[in-house]
Chains A and B, each alone.
Chain A
Amino acid sequence: MASRKSPSRKSPARPAKRAGGKAPVARKASSARKASPKRGAPRATTSALTLPTLHESTTSSGLKVIAAERGPLPMVSVRLVIRAGSATDPDGKHGLADFTARLLRRGTRRLNAQAIDEAVEFVGASLGVGVSEDTLSVALTTPSEHFVPMLGILGQLVREPTFPQSEVDDARERELAQFANDLDDPSIIADRAMVRALWGNHPYGHDVGGSSKTVKTFTRDDVVRFHQERMGPKVSMLIVVGAMDPQRVAAAAEDAFADWTGGPDAPVAIPAPERIALGGRVIIVDKPDQTQSQVRLGGPGMRMGHEDYFPATAMNIALGGGFTSRLMNEIRVNRGLTYGVSSWFDSMNAAGVFALSTFTKTESTREIIDVALAEIGGVREKGLKPRELADAQSYLAGLYPLRTETNESIAGSIAEARLHGLGDDWVERFRDRLRAVTPKEVVAAAKKYCFAQAPAVVVLGKADVVKKQLKGLGPITVVPASEYE
């Protein structure tokens, strides 16, 4: 699929559209959130996780390489992580990191777009780019026997992309059409409105892809400059997990990235924001044809690696995690108001938010907001029952090993730990740290994060019906959906 949206780490309360006409209908949209599991009572034993050994090297150009050998499948997963995410987009050029990332594979000094596609896809490898607030990543999975040439192509993409003018122009046109079509997707627009309401003018405050207003202005020079100034070996790391000898990985990486130059010596520093931009305010995004409102609530959270991470994570499992969370129980099971509701901490390198996402028929928009706020308020006032905390710890600790099942997920964990300075024992110690959380720590985290101040509220739906319902939640602003194109 040639599609526009970078995979995001957000967890929409909406079923991922499965390819296919008569897609299976699941009981609950699976969320992109991290889940993990384990037992109620404290347990003496924990089955150890078998993690591959990390082998580190550095190429002559200064790129850090981390390799982990792992079978049994004859496949290798590669991830090149560059600290050039959407937070580093220049002013007035929001979306440039994402735009640049997409153009990397549209031509290099030695290969045009068709030749790149053919070389990669012929052997059954796959290449994808993803941009988040903090990073621009290029991901590759390949059969082991083609690893070396595939890594060579990855090296070309970042070392010597040519950004042909015609490719830049076509990409811009496609992107603008996609922005128009996004207006027809209620959950995308609600998420976009929420990002703006939470972060305002902060570098995290725009959609990763930017907007039609900014993308319209992109020139080839912008892209060339972004690549030259933001992407380079000193702010990147290469992670390779799979059926490949670490020594061969180091040698292949040297060959592929030896002449890579450019980029900064250190990552761009992103400041922490003062406050939630539109805390206590209500934004109604008007889409008159809807029979259902998309609802988002959000307040302050924490950066990755913050000391509150474990108490807050355990708390949120009980509040808005699995099928037995308080929100799910009250809103879906007891009242039948929705199909999906979840809350989560979205933590980035500089700061984070705590957010809730759900949807309901137009008529019950106010009710679902009131019930959600009451549930979150209940945890803020009283914390969790000891049993609830124990269950949440068991759930997350028991499921945690699922994150070690694939080469991709292991590469992802390594990248996360390195990016945010979590320590290389992050995965191994995760379950013990989670189980060590006490009810008292949960109370403190709840007081801090469960909307101690009124949250930002975003509702996308039929404004003329919804507006009357939302009186008393804060000052209301109604905007047309086109505001988010």
Chain B
Amino acid sequence: MSKASPSKVPTRVADPALESLFDVHEATLPNGLQVRLLANHQAPVVSLYTVFQVGSRNERPGITGISHLFEHMMFNGAKKYGPKMFDKTLESNGGRSNAYTSTDLTVYYDDFSADALETVLDLESDRMRSLRISQETLTSEREVVKEERRVRVDNDIFGIMDEELGTLVYKAHPYRWPVIGWMADIEAIRREDCQDYFRTYYAPNNAVLYIVGAIDPKKTLALVRKYYGSIPKGPAPAAVLNSEPEQKGERRAEVRHPAQSPALMLGFRGPAARDDDTFVLDVIQYVLTKGEGSRLIRSLVYEQKLAVSLMLDWSWRIDPGTILFYLALKPDSDPKKVEAALYAELEKVAREGITERELQKAQNNLRSDHLRELATNSGRAHALGHYEALLGDWRRLLTLPSTYASITNDQVKAVAAKYFAPEHRSVVTLVPAPTEA
């Protein structure tokens, strides 16, 4: 069992409404595979998540995007279930499957009819045990991923700007490159690289299994042992070094691209997920942009009419992540003016903090959103995996409301001042360029 690292968080009390939903059974197999099981008999369906601790954070230049390309390869055949058989078997048994890769994790998930449980465990353990990577499937899948890159980045303004911002916010850390990787690297990844990746990161001791839904936990654990028990343990993957230097001044970039309006994307480097500042930033994010009545939406969209829409994303990461702002503007907008208005709002939080009512409102909404996310088996399995991977223990999801409840205005002011300092800004401006016919 991984244990949460001791930290000086104020008293953490479990929320009774949440506690009643999470009667989790836990086990660790001799090969290091960790298992979390949760029964929910509301509908005859089950969700299974397999979380591997590997993402673009584990890559290096030359093979950026391999975590994601490899994720695609996991669906292309193993020893027992050959090419095309994973999807074919799963779907014809009343299931569906997908996966995603982030900077920190690669997550595979299946939703299926409860009576397909054993089939799904057979399928999933087969590919963890004995993936087969053929040159043909790699060649074809590479083309699929290149199309994915074209749709997400090359032909998408948000994607283009986001890629630019990453290289500003990070100088040394692997968060510098996009999860999907640089096009030339996607082209260059070889079959041997994929085989190395599988051996290094896809051992049972680098994975946690979450099974939530219409199951009997005892019987399910017996099945997990039967299918996964004999997969050999692998070496522990090397730790990722965070060599990111301190930022000593604003960083700016321009993107010239055919567009109707300018746009702005800004990033501030935040704390690592396990840092207590993370939760204070969650509250600040809600006060600034959660809902039509939030500070930035009310001020920049409705009162000053400077932005068409705006977004603030504060996504927890294992290493210090990015507090990201994106503002869609009007054709005649002056981005400088919009920036000034945004900075005024951020400074105000650092100077005055927030009102008691805003704090209470943020806490109410954080709890509501938390509950909404837990409405489905898939949502519960995802939450267990997310909190365990990023905070070290899934139980943190039970105590989160009490963590938010303990946050004070002094903390809000200090955190805003620390992270939104002008010398820590990175700014990407989209400059509309004429279309080259």
A residues near B (Cβ < 8 Å) are: 1-4, 14-15, 17, 19-28, 30, 35, 37-40, 47-50, 72-75, 105, 113-114, 117-118, 120-126, 141, 143, 170, 173-174, 177-178, 180-181, 183-186, 287-292, 322-324, 329, 332-340, 359-361, 390-391, 394-395, 397-399, 401-402, 404-407
Contact = CB atoms under 8 A, between A and B. Distances in A.
Nearest to B294: A121
B308 A399 contact: no
A399 B94 contact: yes
Most buried by A among B99, B257, B328: B328
Contact of B88 (A38, A114, A141, A324): A324
A399 B310 contact: no
14 contacts: A1-B311, A2-B297, A15-B151, A26-B98, A37-B96, A47-B115, A72-B21, A73-B375, A113-B292, A126-B368, A174-B308, A323-B91, A391-B91, A399-B95
Most buried by B among A118, A177, A292, A407: A177
Contacts, number: 293
A74 B17 contact: yes
A337 B374 CA distance: 37
B96 A339 contact: no
Contacts of B145: 339
Given A14-B151, A406-B376, A22 B97 contact: no
Contacts of A359: 147, 150-151
Contacts of B241: none
A333 B97 contact: no
Nearest to B83: A333
Contact of A324 (B91, B107, B113, B267): B91
Interface residues of B, number: 108
B142 interface: yes
Contact of B43 (A21, A30, A50, A72): A50
Contact of B315 (A22, A35, A126, A324): A22
Nearest to A74: B17
A126 B366 CA distance: 12
Contacts of B341: none
B166 interface: yes
B20 interface: yes
Interface string B264-298: 01010000000000000000000001111110011
Given A27-B72, A170-B302, A289-B436, A397 B94 contact: yes
A360 B147 contact: yes
B45 A399 contact: yes
A437 to B, nearest CB: 16
Given A35-B96, A73-B374, A184-B259, A21 B313 contact: yes
Given A19-B311, A180-B331, A25 B152 contact: yes
Interface in B132-158: 139-148, 150-152, 154-158
A260 to B, nearest CB: 24
A47 B45 CA distance: 10
B247 interface: no
B165 interface: yes
A473 B201 CA distance: 48
B84 A122 contact: no
Most buried by B among A23, A72, A118: A23
B96 A322 contact: yes
A186 B155 contact: yes
Nearest to A21: B324
Contact of B360 (A21, A26, A114, A122): A122
A121 B97 contact: no
A27 B305 contact: no
B101 A121 contact: no
B431 interface: no
B233 interface: no
Nearest to A323: B87
A221 to B, nearest CB: 23
B80 interface: no
B43 A401 contact: yes
Contacts of B93: 37-40, 394, 398
Nearest to B290: A121
B367 A322 contact: no
Given A74-B17, A114-B293, A26 B96 contact: no
A244 to B, nearest CB: 15
Contacts of A178: 308-309, 328
A102 B151 CA distance: 30
B377 A405 contact: yes
Given A25-B100, A25-B148, A337 B143 contact: yes
B144 A398 contact: no
Given A391-B92, A398-B112, A329 B84 contact: yes
B261 interface: yes
B151 A19 contact: no
Contacts of B294: 121
Interface of B: 17, 20-21, 42-45, 56, 68, 71-72, 75, 84, 87-88, 91-103, 107, 111-116, 139-148, 150-152, 154-158, 162, 165-166, 175, 178-180, 214, 257-261, 265, 267, 289-294, 297-298, 301-302, 305, 308-311, 313, 315, 322, 324, 328-331, 357, 360-361, 364-365, 367-369, 371-372, 374-377, 435-437
B101 A399 contact: no
B121 to A, nearest CB: 16
A405 B103 CA distance: 30
Nearest to A334: B140
A26 B102 CA distance: 9
Contact of A289 (B91, B96, B257, B289): B257
The 4 closest A-B pairs by CB, nearest first: A398-B94, A336-B143, A117-B293, A398-B113
A144 to B, nearest CB: 10
Given A19-B313, A25-B152, A394-B93, A404 B147 contact: no
A118 B293 contact: yes
B166 A21 contact: yes
B152 A15 contact: yes
A58 B113 CA distance: 38
Nearest to A40: B92
Contacts of A4: 308-309
Contacts of B435: 287-289
A390 B93 CA distance: 10
Contact of A22 (B45, B178, B261, B367): B178
A332 B76 CA distance: 12
A191 to B, nearest CB: 14
Most buried by B among A21, A143, A181, A395: A21
Most buried by B among A26, A38, A180, A185: A26
A124 B364 contact: yes
Contacts of B42: 50, 404-405
Contacts of A143: 364, 368, 371
Nearest to B169: A21
Contacts of A122: 357, 360-361, 364
B71 to A, nearest CB: 6
Contacts of B148: 15, 25, 339
Contacts of A120: 291
Contacts of A73: 17, 21, 371, 374-375
A228 B437 CA distance: 48
B371 A395 contact: no
A339 B151 contact: yes
Contacts of A40: 92-93
Nearest to B369: A124
Given A125-B368, A395-B94, 10 more contacts: A15-B152, A20-B315, A25-B100, A39-B115, A47-B115, A74-B371, A124-B368, A181-B261, A394-B91, A398-B113
Contacts of B214: 47
Contact of A27 (B75, B301, B369): B75
